[in-house]
Amino acid sequence: MIQKMKPTTKEEQYQSLLPQIHELTKNEPDLIANLANIAAALKQTFGFFWVGFYIIKGNELVLGPFQGLVACTRIPLGKGVCGAARKERRTIIVPDVEQFPGHIACNSESKSEIVVPLFSNGEIIGVLDIDSDRLNTFDQTDAEYLEKIINCKIGNNSPHTIF
């Protein structure tokens, strides 16, 4: 059960969420189950417009567990924000999607976006994509905590694996 937070800073919300996600995922080895719960926990905590994962399959990113409206199923190598994050193996923050060349608009309500690469044993295996229906939603605080959440650098013990 994810605790609903009282209004507080974004950093405090992430700090509260980290151990909860650790608890949710620590005894579950299944990738899809863990990604599904992480997407739900992020949506429930922050109310983001769309939260989901794309998983690398060959030359494409294929839609994985998500929370939100129906989305594009396949993203070719290097296309869109997700493809760029995969290619560059780094988190990309987009304050205004209309200013990002090649942005893929799965929904016209999406105004800003963050995409975080998902690694397993040093290999990129997918990305976390979060869309907001407001401009300028994401910053370095989101990048820092989302990288920790999806790459398991959470909890006081040594990093566990969700894959």
Residues that bind ligand SME (CB under 6 A): 50, 71-72, 75, 80-82, 103-104, 106, 110, 113, 129, 131
User: Hey, how many other C-beta atoms are within 10 angstroms of the C-beta on 32?
Assistant: 11
Minimum CB distance to ligand SME, residue 124 (Å): 15
Residue number, 11 or 98, with CB nearest to ligand SME: 98
Minimum CB distance to ligand SME, residue 82 (Å): 3
Minimum CB distance to ligand SME, residue 162 (Å): 21
Residue 23 to residue 29: CA distance in whole angstroms: 13
Residue 127 to residue 80: CA distance in whole angstroms: 12
Minimum CB distance to ligand SME, residue 12 (Å): 27
Residue number, 21 or 81, with CB nearest to ligand SME: 81
Residue number, 15 or 99, with CB nearest to ligand SME: 99
> SS3 of 21, please?
helix
Helix, strand, coil percent content, the chain, rounded in steps of 5: 35, 25, 40
Residue pair 91/59 in contact by the 8 Å Cβ criterion = no
